[in-house]
Amino acid sequence: MENFKIDIDADGVALVTFDVPGRSMNTLTGSVIAEIPTLVEKIKSDDAIKGVVITSGKPSGFCAGADLGDMASGMLAGGGDLQKAFDTGWALNGAFRALETSGKPVAAAINGLALGGGLEFTLACHYRVVENDPKIQLGLPEIKVGLFPGGGGTQRLTRLIGVQNALMQMAEGKSWRPNDAKGAGVVHEVVEKGQSVEAAKAWIKNGGKAVQPWDDKGFKIPGGGPYHPAGAQVFIMGNAILRKQSYGNYPAVLNMMKAVYEGVQVPIEAGLRIETRYFIKTLMTPQAQAMIRSLFLSKQELDKGAVRPAGVPKSDPKKVTVIGAGMMGAGIAYVQAMAGIETILIDQSQEAADKGKQYAVDLIQKRVSRGHMTQDKADAVLGLITATTDYDLIKGSDLVIEAVFENREIKAAVTKNAEAQLAKGAVFGSNTSTLPITGLAEASVRPEDFIGIHFFSPVDKMMLVEIIMGEKTGDEALAKALDYVLKIKKTPIVVNDSRGFYTSRCFSTFLMEGMAMLEEGYSPVLIDNVGRMTGMPRGPLEMHDDVALDLSYKIAKQTREDLGDKYVPTEGEQIVATMVEQGRYGRKNGKGFYDYDQKPKVIWPGLAELAPTTKGAEFGEGPEALAAVDELKTRLLYRQAVEVARCWEEGVIDDPREGDLGAILGWGFAPWTGGPITFIDQTGLKAFVAKADELTAKYGDRFKVPQLLRDMAEKNETFYGRFAPEKKAA
């Protein structure tokens, strides 16, 4: 076997080391899955083996789950042949079942993260020991890529911790830390680092039982099954809760619940076959295939630097200065320090700089209090941040990130002051979200080293960084910016210069279409409900409050000054201006479209005077109401997708992976679609253009598609076909 090594000790305990060659992390590749039956047969047939401990040979983790590219291509290889797809899917489930019925006690010594199929591997063991390492996570996150656990997770986890707890965990895709996993009943024992194998062997030597709980006669599911009074309530309420969370956009959620509901009523082996059937059904949906491509395959490629310029030597930023210690700058300083980068945090006053560092202090102490970081490590990280007003401390920085107000004059002054301290080859990055980089670079004496590095708030949670190329930005600056983003463990996309770039420009259309609906007389509650129904994380008015109304006001003011007579007011601009003049800035001061001084938040009563509700009552009930709501949902999605297509035609983006992943991670474009590029491709170019033309006739040119889409529709092309990444590289 290539992936498993077996060492049998004097007591007959076989230590099986899972170690996929050539990879930094174990995954369940096709080769691994093919070898598990061989491993099980060895365990069963070798009389010298009295028990088994399975651990990882990788320092980075036990197993990160299935290799989705490998797995999906294997299951879909039959071209629609369901029996072939089932047989491929059952290979893993059958192998795990064979392991737990091998007749010999099997323990998992979990010495690193175990996610997805990795955790399912351990659930097929009779005993689980995990090391008390704050970096270790245990979970079933498949729902995040449009799937659900298909290696026995829906059946074993449910039988371990009960229907309600299992459904909640799988539906949210959250992970446990070691002690939480023990508290939940997922693992049996938590030991100190390096002690898991010894503890697992001790369990076997002390008479570890080679039978799973669900194979014991008289086993009952914790909390009861579908026909138990308590269990029945879980399914009744769970159906409503999952519908509320997914709005019917994710087949995986419904199919997961079906697999649990049906599977717990039959013996485990039949339940595993039920799970496999629903898993295959889910995998064949366009939603799952879209999400796997964007959120797994494309993300992996971009996280490995797929768009980095060839031929530029690798750089490793050791010291980075952040200018501006507000919410954004403070967040950037925190993630840098967490990545081991010496950080200079500058603001106009020492008080402001110290306040910015305090943001990192608070986040890190929270990690310490939760056991996710030791105090010594926390002190070391905080020691990397120097809060100051002194620009002289910039000297020696590999990179400067400016994160001050969206004002050209302020940014120009900061650029000149910072560049005076920078050595040749150091990069200056602006964190602007809307102002064109080429224009900002006019204040630079080295525009080839000037680049946009756009973070998203809150920086510690948002995984995307948008890198913007100015007209004179060089490949070396781009490569260094990408190396920096990858070092702080964010996902980068690279776009060309434009007002609003890619993410801010396209995201603003979601807000503006919501404002258009408000001006048309639709209820603000309806607008936000419909927004969430599309799959966006929040409604357009809620998100406008989150972004800050006064920021929208300032951006509009700056854009008006820049464009002069060419400026076209945006939808609802006057409503926003009036609200800002009345001191309503959004969530940050508790007053926006909503009032936040009570929970739950409520729509601001004064909004009815600025935008009276005159529409919606005519929707009626039944099919007419559904059609009317679908029209609003379509408007919100198409408005964004059309703007994405315009960005493509204008050359702002040129890689479908970056377009899709940037939209999902950057502004929350409905993940079930796989991103706006995939949304257009899966709708079909002809159908998309026809619907956009219909919307244009009804609502105006904001829905007018660029000529590129019409040309592609005529040729029956797709973005991923015509602009495939490999064609770009060639």
Tell me: do 490 and 587 sit in the same domain.
Answer: no
CATH of the domain at 422: 3.40.50.720
Among the ranges given (165-179, 223-237, 329-343), the one the predictor scored with the smallest mean pLDDT: 223-237
Calpha distance 294→282 (Å, rounded)? 16
Is the per-residue pLDDT at 590 higher than 80? yes
Q: Are residues 399 and 548 in the same domain?
A: no
Are both 508 and 474 inside the same structural domain? no
Residue 696 in any domain: the answer is no
What pLDDT was estimated at residue 364? 97
Residue 64 lies in a domain: yes
Span 145-160, pLDDT tens digits: 999 999 999 999 999 9
Look at residues 538, 631, 622, 623 and name the one whose alpha carbon lies nearest to residue 586.
Answer: 538
Instruction: Provide the whole-model pTM.
Output: 0.92
337 close to 331: Cβ distance less than 8 angstroms:
no
**pLDDT at residue 75, as a whole number:** 65
CATH number at residue 511: 1.10.1040.50
pLDDT band with cut points at 50, 70 and 90 for residue 48 = very high
| 597 in the same domain as 479 | no
Tokens linked to 265: 């009523």
> Which of 225, 244, 250, 245 lies closest to 235 in space, CA to CA?
225
Instruction: Output the pLDDT for position 80.
Output: 67
pLDDT tens digits for 283-341?
Answer: 999 999 999 999 999 999 999 999 999 999 999 999 999 999 999 999 999 999 999 99
pLDDT tens-place string over residues 348-385: 999 999 999 999 999 999 999 988 899 999 999 999 99
Considering the domain architecture, whether residues 422 and 278 belong to the same structural domain is answered as: no
Residue 345 covered by a domain:
yes
Whether the pLDDT of residue 727 is over 70: the answer is no
How far apart CA 511 and CA 494 sit, in angstroms, is: 24
Q: How many domains does the chain have?
A: 3
The mean predicted confidence, pLDDT, of the chain is 94
Question: What is the share, in percent, of the chain residues with pLDDT greater than 70?
Answer: 98
Residue 544 lies in a domain: yes
Instruction: List all residues 6 or more positions away from 172 whose beta carbon is below 8 Å from its beta carbon.
Output: 143
Quick one: what percent of the chain has pLDDT higher than 90? 84
Give the pLDDT score at 100.
96
Summarised one tens digit per residue, pLDDT across range 259-294 is 999 999 999 999 999 999 999 999 999 999 999 999
Tens digits of per-residue pLDDT, 442-470?
999 999 999 999 999 899 999 999 999 99
The answer to whether position 524 is within a domain reads yes
Q: Quickly state the pLDDT bin for 565 (edges 50, 70, 90).
A: confident
**Contacting residues for 432 by C-beta, under 8 A, at least 6 apart:** 406, 411, 440, 452, 454
Same domain for 325 and 460, yes or no, is yes
Domain extent for 381: 319-499
Tell me, yes or no, whether 515 and 493 share the same domain.
Answer: no
- Residue of 466, 513, 542, 643 with catalytic role: 466
The answer for residues whose C-beta is within 8 angstroms of residue 694's C-beta and 6 or more apart is none
Contact 499, 563 (CB under 8 A): no
> The domain spanning residue 191 has which CATH number?
3.90.226.10
Beta bridge partners of 450: 428
408/521 same-domain check: no
- Give pLDDT, residue 54: 98
pLDDT at 729 over 60: no
Of 598, 618, 638, which residue constitutes the final position of a domain? 618
Contact 35, 2 (CB under 8 A): yes
On whether residue 87 sits in a domain, the answer given is yes
- Do 405 and 431 reside in the same domain of the chain? yes
pLDDT in tens, 606-660: 999 999 999 876 676 677 778 889 999 999 999 999 999 999 999 999 999 999 9
- Domain end among 499, 530, 563: 499
Same domain, 488 and 511: no
Beta-strand (E) ranges in 355-509? Answer: 385-388, 399-402, 427-430, 450-454, 464-469, 491-496
Whether residue 643 is contained in a domain is answered as: no
Could you give the CA distance from residue 496 to residue 459 in angstroms, rounded to a whole number? 22
Position 163 in a domain: yes
Does the active-site annotation cover 466? yes
Closest-CA residue to 165 (of 136, 134, 137, 140): 140
Higher pLDDT: 567 or 272? It is 272
DSSP string, 463-487: -EEEEEE-TT--HHHHHHHHHHHHH
Please indicate, yes or no, whether residues 401 and 481 belong to a single structural domain of this protein: yes
Identify whether residues 160 and 15 lie together within a single domain: yes
Q: Which of 499, 528, 549 delimits the end of a domain? A: 499
Kindly report the three-state secondary structure assignment for every residue of 64-111.
CCECHHHHHHHHHCCCCCHHHHHHHHHHHHHHHHHHHCCCCCEEEEEC
pLDDT of 239 higher than 90: no
pLDDT of 82 = 84
